[in-house]
Structure 1
Amino acid sequence: MSNKKSQYLTGVRAGIPVILGFVPVGIAYAIMARQAGFSVFETVFMSVTVFAGASQMMAVGMYVQRAGIVAMILATFILNLRHLIMSTCVVNRMKNEPIKFKLLATFGVTDESFALFTTEKREKCSGLYFLGLITVTYSSWIVGSAIGAVASDFLPTIVTASLGIALYAMFIGILVPNLTHNLKLGLLVILTAACNSVLTQFMDSSWALILSTLVCAVIGVFFVDLNKQEVTEDEN
């Protein structure tokens, strides 16, 4: 097996656990969109072109409330500002990839692909690895959306509501094992969560998330040694 193919397949295998979260949440989004009056095509097409579950659900909710297009675009832009930070971290690990590839790869950056890619050993963090990873995340999101769009008339409400929990459980399952190698990184995550909880009491939750991420990222520059984590993983 060629080295390039191996890198891609390694990324595919790393992304398999994401299916357990993306498919059910994609179904939940699609049912919400169908109930808002979207057609099957519109529901799936939104997933193909946007690929951001939280933003899609918020946009659908605002559509139901008859919000204007400008308000919907601005709200989703603010919600996704964190992707600027995450994309920067991801492309920084693709030092040998051309700029065109890096720009294309940023479309596939989600909370889950970011967590998997940035906590992986640096020698595995190639562009092909990330491509394999987002192949799984992107396709599973579209499949979930398609299933939900078609089956929206058959699933009971209680099932729809329970599907939204799967994404959070999956994200915790991905993140926690990688934090066990670095206590300081784990503490930084807890600090970020605490900071976000406090700020949400004084500002919009989207701005609170962005500000807490920026502040704690700056703290992490002086507090967390990611190189030490990578050496420990190599030794294991």
Structure 2
Amino acid sequence: MNTTFSQGVKAGTSIAIGYFPVALTFGLLAKTTGLSIFEATAMSLLVYAGASQYMALSLIATGVAPWLIVMNTFIVNIRHFLMTASLSENVAPAPKWMKAIYAFGITDESFSVLSTQKGGKITAVFTFGVTLIAYSSWVIFTAVGHVIGANLPQFLQQAMSVALYAMFIGLLVPSMKGNRKVVLLAVIGAGIHCVLYYSNLLSTGWSILVATLGSAIIVEILYVKTNKTVENWTAEKEADQ
């Protein structure tokens, strides 16, 4: 069973390598969006959530109010509450302050690594090892990406804004493959946002917020009703037999 800090660092090295290109791109795009190296690095230090940080960049670029950016980021990251709650059952008992620290370092990737460990409960120090190496990689390569962006010609910096949308597509498409629920979420969310935004009913920040919540609620209602219909049909078929 993995128990030591060094074993945690070793297990998290693959995450750190995977974060290298994504964090580098984030730092570069943060520069082209107008963030200073301090602001970009501080975002990675304090937020540490890839998809939310990319979303925040697009909202910053369109001049959305800061509190709306915070709200959108919070909603996108709600899943982290569930991940840390689930993970706490697999980690050996530790002081609450220690759990709070390593919980901050939980991402989709680190959760996947930690939740698949075999041989009983994992220790807090092992968890620290996994999260620290991944966190360090994200923060360091954000700063490196910003420095690279600062040295690009001005026309390339302006052109890189297009890469932000390409990154979103790159994050979304793999999740949509073979998953109807994700497809429905994306399509319904996009539809709600377009209606609200292009009809001038809501600003960009509000339309994204409403579209995110609205699509999640609609899809869950559809799936609950579908499951109930299937269950009723199965029950009636068994009763007829």
* Correspondence 1:111-190 to 2 at 5 A: 111-123=108-120, 125-154=122-151, 161=163
Aligned to 1:199: 185
Name whichever of 92-101 and 66-75 sits farther off.
92-101
Equivalent residue in structure 2 for 1:75, among 72, 75, 100 = 72
- What does the per-residue CA deviation read over 1:92-119, in whole Å, with 9 as the maximum and x for residues that have no partner? 2224112111111110010100010011
The whole-number CA distance in structure 2 between the counterparts of 1:35 and 1:59 is 14
Cα deviations by residue, 1:48-84 (Å, 9 ceiling, x for unpaired): 1111111111111101100011210111011001111
Structure 1 unpaired stretches of 5+: 173-189, 220-236
Counterpart of 1:34 in structure 2 is 31
Aligned to 2:44: 47
Segments of 5+ residues of structure 2 without an aligned counterpart are 191-210, 228-241
Letter in 1 for 2:35: F
- Deviation of 1:22 (Å): 0.7
Instruction: Show the counterpart of 1:11.
Output: 8
The 1-side partners of 2:85 and 2:34 are apart by: 36
After TM superposition, the score normalised by the length of structure 2 is 0.67
**Per-residue displacement from partner, 1:125-155 (whole Å, max 9, x unpaired)?**
2111110001110000011101101111346
Q: Report if the CA contact (8 A) 2:44-2:138 is conserved.
A: yes
CA contact (8 A) 1:29 1:148 kept: yes
Which residue, 40, 53, 57 being the options, matches 1:56?
53
TM-score computed with the length of structure 1 as normaliser? 0.69
- Once the two structures are aligned, what percentage of the paired residues are identical? 28
CA radius of gyration, larger in: 2
Report the CA distance between 1:198 and its aligned residue.
Answer: 2.6
When the two structures are aligned, how many residues end up with a matched partner?
Answer: 191
Q: Is the 8 A contact 2:91 2:123 kept in 1?
A: yes
1:86 to 83, 87, 105: 83
Return the alpha-carbon distance in structure 2 between the equivalents of residues 206 and 92 of structure 1.
Answer: 29
Instruction: Return the offset for 1:123.
Output: 2.4
SS of 2:4's equivalent in the other structure is helix
Q: Per the alignment, do residues 210 and 161 of structure 1 end up closer, same or farther by CA in structure 2, a change over 3 Å counting?
A: farther
Native 8 Å contact 1:12 1:136 kept in 2: yes
Aligned-partner Cα distance in 2 for 1:60–1:28: 12
